[in-house]
Structure 1
Amino acid sequence: MLKRLQRRPWICQSCLRQQQRSTKRCLVTSSNTKGSAAAAASIADDYQPVSKASPSISHDDRTLRQVFDSAPFWKEFSSKNKYHYGGKSAGLFQNRYLTRPEGFQTFAQVTLQKCKKIVSRVLAYESVEEYKRTAKDLDRLSDLLCRVIDLSDFVRSVHPDPEIQAAAHQAYGMMFEYMNVLNTTTGLNDQLKKASRIPEVYNSWSEEERTVAAILEKDFSKSAIDLEDTDRQAFVDISNEVVQVGSDFVDNMAAATPFLNFESSRLKGMDPVFVRQLTRWGKVSLPTVGMPATLALRTVEDADTRREIYMANRTSEKENLRRLEQLLKRRAELAKLSGYESFGHMTLADKMAKTPEAVLSFLDALAQDNSPRVKDEMRQLLELKKGDARSGNFPSEMNAWDREYYTARLLSTMRSNTRPDDLLSAYFSLGTVMQGLSRLFHRLYGIRLVPREPLPGETWNPDVRRLDVIDDQEGHIAVIYCDLFERLGKSPNPAHFTLRCSRRIGDEEMQEAAELSSQTGGLFTTAQEAANDGLATNFNPRDRNALYQLPTIALICDFALPPSGQQGNRPTLLTFRELTTLFHEMGHALHSICGRTALQNVSGTRCATDFAELPSVLMENFAAAPEVLALYARHWETDAPIDPARVQERVEVERRMAGAEVESQVLLGMLDQQYHSSMPLSWPEGGFGESTKMYHNVWDKYSSIPEPAGTSWQGFFGHLFGYGATYYSYLFDRAIAGKVWSDVFQRRQAGAVDPEAGHRFREEVLSWGGGRDGWRCVAGALQERDGVLAEGGKGAMEKVGGWGVHS
């Protein structure tokens, strides 16, 4: 496909647990508590950023903290450009078309005209010299589509103005419809194939151009462009059905029994205040899905009551199970129509894993590595249960409805000996954390975050901060819009969005832009501005000083606003979980920032799904590293540095039941692979119950605690739609990130701020975006010598599985 649809932001388990906790994520540093204190002390005196190249750096560093921590400072800072443009809007993201709602229509129409010129030109290519331009031209065509679709999709989701939402939605629909036309334009596919098969053309292409050509060929193939007309129409019809049924499945996830009614005495152990809130007419009405049910499973003392809640919590509404089975069966048919053995084979062909067999090898190896931890955790839980279980409650075995309860009791014992969350939060003001991220990036990668006053109309909310990313050697390289505070109607899920990708702007585009700037009545002041619709550009010294459009990124979080009134000077303070979430999302941003490729199809996070989480998961490790804490973790009132031992204690609590979390994710990864095998092809049309049989078969084979008969939890597995056949990716990247953390950033004391380690990771992984095979990136970062990783395939997957997930 010419437009590679933007990856849905991965809502990872830690993010989901902000709303409904299942098992705790763990974060580990390699140092023990004593070593942590020593490492922090060793750099405590070197608190300022490593580079002193510019006198403005210290000023920018202080300003960064203040724009997030001080509301009065931000109000003054953000109003400096209030009268710029004579009070007129500069346009959303400084896109000169988007100064008013009607501008979205103009933006889409102008872009559509550019697209049609490129399509006509590519279809007319005949000479070798013309064919050499095919990869670049189709990449630019894709970029033009992305410019409108990605930006409009984001605006219609976050902008508070309904009129602007509607305008963005209309522009999105116009370009999406045109994209679907292009995806079935056989002439473009034919020209791309012809160009790729002319040796003189192919040999003239850069590695990026070859990669992009291969990506676009596969995307065309996945849209059934090579099929006969009848089969292609069947492919389109099934694809549309998959989208509709999948969306309906996600939207209608519900329990078969929405509420359970109890005498309040049966909920002994649960917070009595909370129980009273659920009481109506003398009976407790307990929702079976969500926080109330989770809290009950953790705290209710009576095992029979917990069992009843567990069964209801894990049993899905039947009609939605039918939707799931229809989705899985149609996906299997889609794969067969496209010439693949299964949907898993079709999906994984361009991923690092390549095949379902390799994924299963990885998950098997990971399960074996994790097995001793799970057994040890089970032993500890059983010891607790034997101490208070009645004889009729199977005191010598752990039931499915027991795990949450005894895990909560075990962790509460540990937490009673650690520093409360609110005391740790006093050291994690949002401004100091952002300051710390900038200092960390400066030490490792030579880049820093510099606040910039927004122009009128540039952002969608007054709380949005703009940061420019400045490289010591390359200057301005990216823009980040930080929408980090909660507000009514805003999604609570943290996410990273790429609104515009890195890409080299060619000479012909500059000529086209010069004509455009002279015809738009002063909309653009220069050709350079017109070439990127007004968004940021700069010259890239890594590419012979060519002009590049800069990555433009939006980071979304849902942190509490600073309190007003008597505590009005107190900044937003992050919990340890929120701190880790921000580091995770900044890992995605870092990939987009450093992946400054010449072609947008491989820019930043536009890489294989099972590689995209590596930088973000790796970043989580930095949040609690003592040498990184020394860069930023200061008390918001006294500016006293945190004792890293207190953070390490919290980390130890987080990691205590890590084996159970890994096992849970292995089970879901296995189930995902089974569901996207060829087996759904044999399911009877209109039948029901096959997905439940498969679910119980997987749990019976791999789970340390048997799943009771009668449950059908798969009806709540929403990731099956957005991440079908790739759910293993998060575990996979966690395993790789753990290895990179230990072998690259922890090989020496204070390695987490070692510029040499940062340089290696940037050059071997981040800078490539998706323009280099992920296995080669990992092998380069780890300086592999045996070649197993660089070759990829089943052997590499088994090797990664053997590393385990120990963080």
Structure 2
Amino acid sequence: MVDENPLLSPSPLPYRLPDYARIRPEHYLPAFEAAFARHRDEIEAIATAADPPTFENTVLPLEESGRMLEDVAHAFYTVSSADATAAIQHIDEQLAPLMAAHDDAVRLDARLYARVKDLYDRLDELDLDDEQRYLIARHHREMAHAGAALDQAEKEHLSELNRRLSVLTTTFEKNLLADTNELAVVFDDVAELDGLTEGEISAAAEAAKQRGLDSAYVITLPLFTGHPSLSSLTDRNSRERIMHASRARGSRGGTHDNRPVLREIVRLRAERAALLGYPSHAAYITADQTAGTPEAVERMLRRLAGPASRNAAAEYEALQKIASTSHDAETVAAHDWALYTEKVRAERYALDRAALRPWFEAERVLIDGVFRAAGDLYGLSFRERTDLVAYHPDARVFEVFDDDHSPVGLYVLDLYTRDTKRGGAWMNPIVSQSTLRGTAPVVVNNLNVAKPPTGTPTLLTLDEVTTLFHEFGHALHGLLARVTYPHFAGTNVFRDFVEFPSQVNEMWIFWPEVLASYARHIDTDEPLPADVVEQLHASEAFNQGFATSEYLAAAWLDQAWHRLSVDEASADIDVAEFEAAALADIGLNHPAVPPRYSSTFFAHVFSGGYSAGYYSYIWSEVLDADTVEWFRENGGLTRANGDRFRARLLGVGGSKDPLEAYRDFRGRDAQIDPLLERRGLTA
């Protein structure tokens, strides 16, 4: 019965948090079908209105439409990313073409587009405020960009391309998850894990136990090419096994081979771009971003690639020197880089990053670090709601309050890795804020930290601390945006701007008051020693040649695939040869510095939302580095600074042009010099 489906009526829980305790997999597809039908009826009423278009009879009801569908979709896609059981994966595969077809039915509706275009053409004649004007402009731009101006035959072809692409991107993610689980590396002898901490070994034993492997140890694979354990494992064969498994994902042949999948994705994206009037998918994507063109992206990537490659080569020579002295490796390979980097770091800075984990206990990092910084900056406070059930037992729910004790929304943290969770780390909304709809935000952060045995504290690496602060920056964007219209809610900004607030939030990791609050030894409660903090600061630019090179290599692979024309993308492309040629072209083909993601496990661009947009991280980092400089010049961690950043950037969501919002905050355009200095690229 329809009334038995908890997704078909507003959630009774606070902030409309989905009632996951009652939702079962069999509820999702019927709920989507009902939501699709309701949304079609809502669009039909707008498109067939007899009165001439106005903001009130066209754009306002357009913003109010699709609420049920948004609720169902947010509830489902939160689960399909973080707890993709076999049942959920099956639903996802069925749903992908249905969702693509529905989206096209709305975005390509000629009658609806005609009404929006009429308003856009008369924009200067209408008595509207700035947000309303920008809303009309964005609806017009997005519908035109999606193909609403095509003729009917072209629209039908476009819809077929979109349906097929939705299936392929879902297949890519399913293959990657399965292959990542299959390639998790099993060790039978604990001696092979020499160099790992007791907690890391316990986590590996627990991972093996969950797979039914007694007296074994399992090292699971993160989304990126490298692995945190590579910096500690002394057994070179163990390091090589992990790196080989990581780089093999999606390219071994058989059921989970992503090579034919990604080739078809590239070809269909190129075909779609041509249909829409663009020479490539990259041109299509960047046309509606702050970058504007793939040529602008290329100029930045090439400007950075040369210095980054030279720095990486110099770093390699230092690694090779210490490796030769130790007689462990004649030639430093990719699986050796992290270990020897830590040896060089220890030699130069008397710093062992792996030994820092006892100072980074996860609960303290969260409460006394992440939440503390948000309180000092924005006046926020957090209270755990153990009475609220999220989609998985590991996901914790916190209620967020403003400095006047008024409620802000809910924050959900899902920290631990599991076989049903996709790799990487991310933020997504479960409920979006909108004063029009009367909704407050509910946002979730997902990480993939190894879960220790019950009763054992979770100790984070410094990289995991950075990831938590970064993802919480996205959460703040979702929590603090205050917009009227749901189209502009939270992180609904240009893709090459969305990483900016999250990158800025990383600056508080080493801010003295924050660091002293959370970085305290798990056993002694002693703060991180001052000399260690000093060395961490001194080593901030250390290994940036590698870090910048591996990132730029992945960004360039994304561009290389998506700058292909239809004819080029239709050729019989060997994936490995294509990658090698692309990396050689930009000078980022050092054998010991592989791309952060290779094509067959590059989920950001072949199953996520970053196709032709992975450059966004470095593009946003220009704004980030410039903003960090502003905070330091103006007193750092103060409410005045936080309130300015909140009001002029976080708070506006997507309701104004992002670069205009940045100029409003900074008083000028961003400058690239702070980024070059941060990454050691000034020489």
TM-score range, shorter chain: 0.7 to 0.9
In the other structure, the counterpart of 2:472 is 586
Q: Which amino acid aligns with 1:467?
A: F
Residue 605 of structure 1: how far off its partner (Å): 0.8
* Contact 1:384 1:406 (C-alpha < 8 Å) held by counterparts: no
Q: Indicate whether 1:736 and 2:623 are aligned.
A: yes
Q: 1:800 to 1:211 in 2, by over 3 A?
A: farther
Q: d(CA) in 1 for partners of 2:57 and 2:557? A: 44
Task: Tell me how many residue pairs correspond in the alignment.
Answer: 626
List per-residue Cα deviations over 1:288-319 (Å, max 9, x = no partner). 998899959986779xx99x979996994577
* Contact 2:274 2:566 (C-alpha < 8 Å) held by counterparts: no
Written as runs of structure 1 = structure 2, the 5 A alignment for 1:543-622 is 548-559=438-449, 568=455, 571-622=457-508
Q: Indicate whether 1:762 and 2:646 are aligned.
A: yes
Unpaired runs of at least 5, structure 2: 1-10, 184-190, 202-207, 209-218
Q: Which amino acid aligns with 2:285?
A: T
In the other structure, the counterpart of 1:182 is 106
Q: d(CA) in 1 for partners of 2:249 and 2:226? A: 14
In the other structure, the counterpart of 1:138 is 62
Q: d(CA) in 1 for partners of 2:220 and 2:475? A: 38
Residue 744 of structure 1: how far off its partner (Å): 1.9
Q: 1:491 to 1:651 in 2, by over 3 A?
A: farther
In the other structure, the counterpart of 1:49 is none
Written as runs of structure 1 = structure 2, the 5 A alignment for 1:78-477 is 94=16, 100-101=22-23, 115=39, 118-127=42-51, 130-155=54-79, 158=82, 178-199=102-123, 203-252=126-175, 316-317=251-252, 320-370=258-308, 373-384=311-322, 387=325, 402=333, 404-405=335-336, 408-415=339-346, 417-418=350-351, 421=354, 424-426=357-359, 428-431=361-364, 433-455=366-388, 458-473=389-404, 475-477=406-408
Q: Which amino acid aligns with 2:426?
A: A
SS in 2 for 1:503: coil
Residue 479 of structure 1: how far off its partner (Å): 1.4
* Contact 2:18 2:75 (C-alpha < 8 Å) held by counterparts: no
Q: Which amino acid aligns with 1:676?
A: H
Q: d(CA) in 2 for partners of 1:99 and 1:106? A: 18
SS in 2 for 1:555: strand
In the other structure, the counterpart of 2:205 is none
Q: d(CA) in 2 for partners of 1:680 and 1:323? A: 16
Residue 621 of structure 1: how far off its partner (Å): 2.3
**642-651 or 358-367: bigger deviation:** 642-651
Q: 1:168 to 1:551 in 2, by over 3 A?
A: farther
Q: d(CA) in 1 for partners of 2:370 and 2:592? A: 43
In the other structure, the counterpart of 1:778 is 662
Q: d(CA) in 2 for partners of 1:386 and 1:164? A: 51
List per-residue Cα deviations over 1:507-542 (Å, max 9, x = no partner). xxxxxxxxxxxxxxxxxxxxxxxxxxxxxxxxxxxx
Q: Indicate whether 1:481 and 2:365 are aligned.
A: no
Residue 480 of structure 1: how far off its partner (Å): 1.3
Q: d(CA) in 2 for partners of 1:653 and 1:122? A: 59
Residue 175 of structure 1: how far off its partner (Å): 7.0
In the other structure, the counterpart of 2:567 is 681
Q: 1:405 to 1:632 in 2, by over 3 A?
A: closer
Q: 1:621 to 1:719 in 2, by over 3 A?
A: same
Q: 1:747 to 1:634 in 2, by over 3 A?
A: same
Unpaired runs of at least 5, structure 1: 1-88, 260-267, 278-285, 507-547, 790-795
Using the size of structure 2 for normalisation, the TM-score is 0.77
SS in 2 for 1:549: coil
Q: Which amino acid aligns with 1:555?
A: N
* Contact 2:195 2:234 (C-alpha < 8 Å) held by counterparts: no
Q: 1:595 to 1:351 in 2, by over 3 A?
A: same
Q: Which residue among 614, 629, 640 is the counterpart of 2:515?
A: 629
SS in 2 for 1:467: strand
Higher relative contact order (CA 8 A, sep 6+): 1
* Contact 2:359 2:528 (C-alpha < 8 Å) held by counterparts: no
Q: d(CA) in 1 for partners of 2:134 and 2:413? A: 32
In the other structure, the counterpart of 1:517 is none
SS in 2 for 1:204: coil
Residue 779 of structure 1: how far off its partner (Å): 2.9
Q: 1:702 to 1:441 in 2, by over 3 A?
A: same
* Contact 1:493 1:557 (C-alpha < 8 Å) held by counterparts: yes
- Max Rg structure: 1
In the other structure, the counterpart of 1:518 is none
Q: d(CA) in 1 for partners of 2:302 and 2:169? A: 28
Q: Which residue among 590, 593, 597 is the counterpart of 1:705?
A: 590
List per-residue Cα deviations over 1:230-249 (Å, max 9, x = no partner). 22222222233333344445
SS in 1 for 2:147: coil
Q: Which amino acid aligns with 1:228?
A: D
Residue 561 of structure 1: how far off its partner (Å): 6.0
Q: 1:115 to 1:248 in 2, by over 3 A?
A: closer
Q: d(CA) in 2 for partners of 1:240 and 1:478? A: 35
Q: Which residue among 584, 604, 620 is the counterpart of 1:719?
A: 604
* Contact 1:92 1:460 (C-alpha < 8 Å) held by counterparts: no
Residue 614 of structure 1: how far off its partner (Å): 1.3
SS in 1 for 2:400: strand
Q: d(CA) in 2 for partners of 1:134 and 1:176? A: 23
State the superposition RMSD in angstroms: 4.7
Residue 746 of structure 1: how far off its partner (Å): 2.0
Q: d(CA) in 1 for partners of 2:637 and 2:468? A: 18
Q: 1:297 to 1:313 in 2, by over 3 A?
A: farther
List per-residue Cα deviations over 1:718-776 (Å, max 9, x = no partner). 433132211111222233322211x122226xx44222322232222211112222222
Q: d(CA) in 2 for partners of 1:675 and 1:330? A: 12
In the other structure, the counterpart of 2:550 is 664
Q: Which amino acid aligns with 2:442?
A: T
Q: 1:297 to 1:700 in 2, by over 3 A?
A: farther
List per-residue Cα deviations over 1:397-419 (Å, max 9, x = no partner). xx7x6355365224225348436
Q: 1:297 to 1:171 in 2, by over 3 A?
A: closer
Q: d(CA) in 2 for partners of 1:485 and 1:332? A: 37
Q: Which amino acid aligns with 2:117?
A: K
**310-319 or 359-368: bigger deviation:** 310-319
Q: d(CA) in 1 for partners of 2:247 and 2:390? A: 45
Q: d(CA) in 2 for partners of 1:437 and 1:484? A: 14
Residue 109 of structure 1: how far off its partner (Å): 7.5
Q: 1:104 to 1:300 in 2, by over 3 A?
A: closer
List per-residue Cα deviations over 1:180-226 (Å, max 9, x = no partner). 4323322111111112222466x333333333333333332344332
* Contact 2:480 2:646 (C-alpha < 8 Å) held by counterparts: yes
Q: Which amino acid aligns with 1:402?
A: A
Q: 1:477 to 1:414 in 2, by over 3 A?
A: same
* Contact 2:386 2:397 (C-alpha < 8 Å) held by counterparts: yes
Residue 359 of structure 1: how far off its partner (Å): 0.4
